[in-house]
Each structure stands twice: as structure tokens, then as C-alpha cells.
Structure 1
Amino acid sequence: MAQRTTADQTMSRTELGTYLVELADEFERGDQDVAVSVGNKTVTLHPPDDVSVSIDVVEQSSMLRGQRETVDIQLSWKPESG
């Protein structure tokens, strides 16, 4: 069974930078557990030492919608056994 926790919000560039630094700090600590803030909830994950990373950047230009840029970063792994 999959459990998904999602939050959509708008952040300033400074807030986004702080969020990403805090997430990076969680991974760099080296503990087994990584706490990820999602909206008003914190999810605890259990990544191994090596994590698969996929980065996708899209630059779109549309006559009707104008320009749009997106960056998708996906991290995935099989959790460490506890």
C-alpha cells in the first residue's frame, strides 16, 4: 500500500533555499532517519547511503500561456531495514 503526503504552496526564493538547505542537512547528517517537512507535517524516511537521483528541467514557450520553467527533482531508494 502506498501512502502519499502532498503539499502545494508558494514560497519566496529565500524560503525555498532555506527549505532545500534543511533537506540537504537531513541527508548529510548520516543518521538512518531523514525528516522531511511536507506542509504542516513531518514525514520520517529511511534512506540508505546511496540514493537514486533524477533531475528534469523543462523550458516551455507558448503563445497562449507565455513562458514557463519547471525543475523536477526525484529521489528514490529502497528503505534501510530497521
Structure 2
Amino acid sequence: MADSTEHKSKMNREEFADYLRTLADEFEKDGEMDISVGNKTVQLHPPDTVKSEIEVIERSSILRGNKESLELDVNWKAQK
């Protein structure tokens, strides 16, 4: 069984930086961590070592203009 919680939003750069700092603070704690996803809080149980992948995409299109994106993927086997 897989549960998925997803939330999409727009925020300014400062708000996004604050959200990333909150995530970083939670990762620095020992044991479980609470992550806010939209109006829901999800409790996760990461181990001391996690796998991470960062991807940057830069696209240029005459019709649609330039577009850039940053994807961050972090995963692990849950430690309960």
C-alpha cells in the first residue's frame, strides 16, 4: 500500500527559502520528522543516511520563451 500526499502552490522566493529551511531543520532532528504539505502534516521516519538526486533543466523555445526548473528527490527506507 502506498499513500501519497501532494500539494502545488506559488510562493515568492523568500517564502520558498523559508520552507526549505524548515525542511532542513526537520532533517537535522533525530528520529521522526513532521513535514507540512498543504494543509496536512505528514510524519516521516528517515534514517541517518538518505539518497538524493538534484536535476536542473534549462529549456529555450522561440514560441514559449525560456524555462528553467529544479527538481529535488530524496528517498529512503522508513525506519519505524
Q: TM-score range by the shorter chain?
A: over 0.9
Q: State the Cα distance separating 1:2 from its structure 2 match.
A: 1.1
The separation in 2 between residues aligned to 1:62 and 1:36, in whole angstroms, is 36
Query: Hey, which bits of structure 1, 4+ residues long, moved more than 2 A?
Result: none
State the secondary structure of the residue aligned to 1:47. Answer: coil
**Identity over the aligned pairs, expressed in percent?**
49
State the secondary structure of the residue aligned to 1:25. Answer: helix
Relative to the length of structure 1, the TM-score reads 0.94
Match of 1:15 in 2: 15
1:43 and 2:42 are equivalent in the alignment: yes
Match of 1:59 in 2: 58
The separation in 1 between residues aligned to 2:69 and 2:48, in whole angstroms, is 28
Task: Give the letter aligned to residue 23 of structure 1.
Answer: L
Q: State the Cα distance separating 1:69 from its structure 2 match.
A: 0.4
Relative to the length of structure 2, the TM-score reads 0.96
Task: Give the letter aligned to residue 13 of structure 2.
Answer: R
Gaps of 5+ in 1: none
Task: Give the letter aligned to residue 61 of structure 1.
Answer: S
Could you list the per-position Cα deviations for residues 11-45 of structure 1 after superposition, in whole angstroms to 9, with x for gaps in the alignment? 1100000000000000012x211111100111000
- Which residues of 2 match residues 63-82 of structure 1 at below 5 A? 63-80=62-79, 82=80
The separation in 2 between residues aligned to 1:61 and 1:69, in whole angstroms, is 9
The separation in 1 between residues aligned to 2:36 and 2:59, in whole angstroms, is 29
Gaps of 5+ in 2: none
